[in-house]
A and B are shown apart, each in its own frame.
Chain A
Amino acid sequence: MRIKEHPILKFDFSKKVQFYFEGQPMYGVEGEPIAAALHDNGVMVLRDSINLKRPRGFFCAIGHCSSCLMEVNGEPNIRVCIVPLEAGMRVNRQRGKGELR
């Protein structure tokens, strides 16, 4: 969900782009972190933990904690909290450590 009205800030959501999460089309704002777009779409689980397979989401938002590693355009271990969204991106939940191709 987006903030519609804010007492201090003005947001510009106009640069809408389509991307895919697990093959499903979604919309986000170009240039915002992929994680922000996913959150707006209600996607909270970003990957499974490596050993116990527990659901993992957003956490630090500064690219430090590894909680949000996802597969983007086939590449694993992308820190979606600091990687900007681009049109057409294919974003998938990461299972395990991810495979380098």
Chain B
Amino acid sequence: MLKETGIISEEELNKILPDEERRKKGPFAVVECVEEIPCDPCTAACPFGAIPPFDNVNEVPSVDFDKCNGCGICIALCPGVAIFVVDETYTADKALLKLPYEFVPLPGKGEMVGCLDRSGGEICKGIVVRVQKHPSKTNIIWLEIPLDFSQKVRNIKLK
């Protein structure tokens, strides 16, 4: 699937998500990088050592969800723009999604934006909670979205 469309499958996604129990405890990183490619900055990015170092630079990253606290430092340091942080405990029915964004213009705080799934289709609306500017110009958008869409939304569209 992914190899033909560029969209990660449900099955592949389930392999990279933490278990239900961990998901209920707070934010965690979703590293949507499932192919062996020569790239390892994520392993050095995490200040808590939640992404263990590789033996070979081509290894697929894994996340130790006991160490990951969802801080999001890795998001802007992944050259593949493939890391998201999801907090499914944000409110009773809303999740907080932090996503990397390398487009202009940037949305404003409080702005309502269209939420796109992995194929770029709009599936719901979300509210921008914060725009975290990063010196490397991979900025991070904090987005409040309906809880049911927490593992579906991966991009935004401004009006």
> In the complex, what residues of A have CB within 8 A of residue B104's CB?
5-7
Query: In angstroms, how far is the closest chain B Cβ from the Cβ of A11?
Result: 13
Query: In angstroms, how far is the closest chain A Cβ from the Cβ of B76?
Result: 13
The size bracket of the interface on B is: under 10
> In the complex, what residues of B have CB within 8 A of residue A8's CB?
102, 137
Counting CB contacts under 8 A, is B105 at the interface?
A: yes
> In the complex, what residues of A have CB within 8 A of residue B105's CB?
5
> In the complex, what residues of A have CB within 8 A of residue B137's CB?
7-8
- Chain B's closest residue to A6 (CB) is B104
> In the complex, what residues of A have CB within 8 A of residue B103's CB?
7
Cα of A5 to Cα of B105 in the assembled complex, Å: 8
Query: In angstroms, how far is the closest chain B Cβ from the Cβ of A3?
Result: 10
7 tightest Cβ-Cβ pairs between the two chains A and B: A7-B104, A5-B104, A7-B102, A8-B137, A7-B103, A7-B137, A6-B104
Interface residues of A (CB under 8 A from B): 5-8
Interface residues of B (CB under 8 A from A): 102-105, 137
- 9 A-B pairs with CB atoms under 8 Å apart are A5-B104, A5-B105, A6-B104, A7-B102, A7-B103, A7-B104, A7-B137, A8-B102, A8-B137
